[in-house]
């Protein structure tokens, strides 16, 4: 910056503070100094004898949007489902390694998956509203978990946070299946928010939606990350580029002359770095669209 020897005092011109336009750097601390929500150490997942994912270590930070990108078959959906123990529902799935949530082992012997899922919510690729009224959809979570005080207020708050309240406030008793695709997905988000989670997991939340609905969901995530930590899987890397703070690129490692394929984590860094000068050639090949 300024040469250190005999630096004249900038008295009459005056000095300026170093300009930093990036909001990220002005108001948010860099990753290293942020609180860690998930710490994953050497995680592997297999279904019976076939390995889906191996050797993944990563730290997910609070109030960040963290994106998992990569070609199909790289295990990113399998990976995200480890965070809320949804892989427990698949009998042949075996999770090895360690995931810590705020320092606690997520797969510890006395950990209750139901408690885990209360704190770590999930939104799926295809919107899956229950065949009930809009109100009952949002109220399902609180009812099931016994949080039934002020149900009306909880429902309103959740729908408001999901940017859906104004559109449905006059027809809360209408069937949820009558909403458009984008509205249904926001309803699913509201459903998650109603149980007041800490983390939101999103498995390709916008891939079944049209571009305008997609943009609305992306803007919503931008809002939501103030209060929640968000992890998103997306096959659309432009989407990851637009909304994520940190991006993890997964790829497929082929062994045994093509007979064995499993997913590995290739690179994990801030999004600007991944999309301007990634460290690993595989990452660069993927984001430039040359391969993948």
Partner 1 sequence: MSAAAASVELQSDKPRGVWRGRIFVAFLLLSLAIGFVTLGTLVIQVLLRGIAYVDPVLLTNPPSSDPNIAGARPAILATLYLGVMLIAFTVPIGVGTAIYLEEYANRDRWFNRLLELNIQNLAAVPSIVYGILGLAFLVRGLGLGRVLLAGALILTLLVLPTVIIASREAIRAVPPSIREGAYALGATKWQVTWRQVLPAAIPGIATGSILAVARAIGETAPLILIGALTFISFNPTVLGPFTALPVQIYNWTRLPNPEFKNLAAAAIILLLVIILMLNAGAIYLRNRYQKKW
Partner 2 sequence: MRVSLQEELDQLEAAVQEEGELVLRALRGALGALERQDVELADEVIAFDDEVDDSYLAVEEGIQSLLARQTPVAVDLRTVLALLHVNLHLERMADYCVTVAKLTKLVAGIPHDETLAEAFDEMGARAEEMIRVSLDSLASRDMERAESLVDLDELIDRANRRAVKQVIAIGGDEERREWGLRMIVVSRCLERIGDHAVDIGEQTAFLVSGEFREFTDASH
Q: By CB under 8 A, which span of 72-80, 125-133, 237-245, 264-272 interacts with partner 1? A: 125-133
Distance from C-alpha of 210 to C-alpha of 219, rounded to nearest angstrom: 14
For residue 224, state whether it binds partner 2 (rule: CB under 8 A): no
Of 46 and 242, nearer to partner 2 (C-beta) is 242
Size of the site for partner 2 (CB under 8 A): 34
Q: Which SS3 state, helix, strand or coil, does residue 6 take?
A: coil
For residue 10, state whether it binds partner 2 (rule: CB under 8 A): yes
Q: What angle do CA 112, 189, 185 make, to 5 degrees?
A: 130
Distance from C-alpha of 144 to C-alpha of 17, rounded to nearest angstrom: 54
Binds partner 1 (CB under 8 A): choice among 118, 186, 216, 262? 118
Decide if 106 contacts 83 (C-beta within 8 A): yes
Write phi, then psi, for 212 (nearest 5 degrees). -70, -45
Q: Which SS3 state, helix, strand or coil, does residue 253 take?
A: strand
| Min dist. Cβ of residue 128 to partner 1 (A) | 4
Q: By CB under 8 A, which span of 45-53, 115-123, 159-167, 219-227 interacts with partner 1? A: 115-123
**Nearest CA-CA partner of 229 in 12, 31, 36, 24:** 36
State which of positions 185-214 bind partner 2 (CB under 8 A).
212
Decide if 286 contacts 241 (C-beta within 8 A): no
- Residue 219 touches which member of partner 2, partner 1, none, C-beta under 5-8 Å by kind: partner 2
Q: What angle do CA 172, 178, 179 make, to 5 degrees?
A: 75
Q: What residue ranges bind partner 2 (CB under 8 A)?
A: 1-3, 7-16, 18-23, 212, 215-216, 218-219, 222-223, 238, 241-243, 271-272, 275-276
Q: What residue ranges bind partner 1 (CB under 8 A)?
A: 84, 86, 89, 91, 114-115, 117-118, 121-122, 124, 126, 128-131, 140-141, 144-145, 177, 188, 191-192, 195
């Amino acid at each position: 910056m300024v040469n250190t020897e005999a630096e004249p005092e900038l008295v009459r011109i005056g000095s300026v503070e170093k300009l930093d336009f990036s909001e990220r750097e002005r108001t948010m601390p860099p990753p290293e100094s942020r609180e860690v929500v998930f710490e994953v150490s050497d995680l592997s997942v297999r279904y019976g004898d076939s390995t889906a994912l191996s050797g993944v270590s990563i730290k997910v930070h609070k109030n960040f949007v963290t994106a998992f990108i990569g070609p199909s078959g790289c295990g990113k959906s399998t990976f995200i489902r480890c965070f809320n123990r949804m892989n427990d529902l698949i009998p042949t799935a075996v999770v090895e390694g360690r995931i810590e949530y705020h320092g606690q082992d997520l797969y510890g012997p006395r950990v209750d998956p139901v408690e885990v899922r209360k704190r770590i919510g999930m939104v799926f690729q295809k919107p899956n509203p229950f065949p009930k009224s809009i109100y009952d959809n949002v109220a399902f979570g609180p009812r099931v978990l016994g949080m039934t005080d002020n149900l009306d207020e909880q429902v309103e708050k959740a729908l408001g946070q999901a940017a859906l309240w104004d559109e449905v406030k006059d027809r809360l008793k209408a069937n949820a299946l009558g909403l458009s695709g984008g509205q249904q997905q926001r309803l699913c988000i509201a459903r998650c928010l109603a149980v007041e989670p800490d983390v939101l997991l999103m498995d390709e939340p916008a891939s079944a939606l049209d571009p305008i609905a997609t943009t609305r969901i992306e803007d919503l995530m931008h809002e939501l990350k103030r209060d929640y930590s968000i992890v998103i899987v997306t096959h659309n890397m432009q989407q990851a580029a637009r909304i994520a703070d940190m991006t993890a690129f997964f790829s497929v490692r082929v062994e045994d002359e093509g007979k064995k394929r499993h997913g590995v984590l290739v690179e994990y860094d801030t999004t600007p770095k991944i999309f301007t000068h990634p460290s690993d050639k595989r990452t660069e090949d993927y984001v430039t669209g040359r391969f993948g």
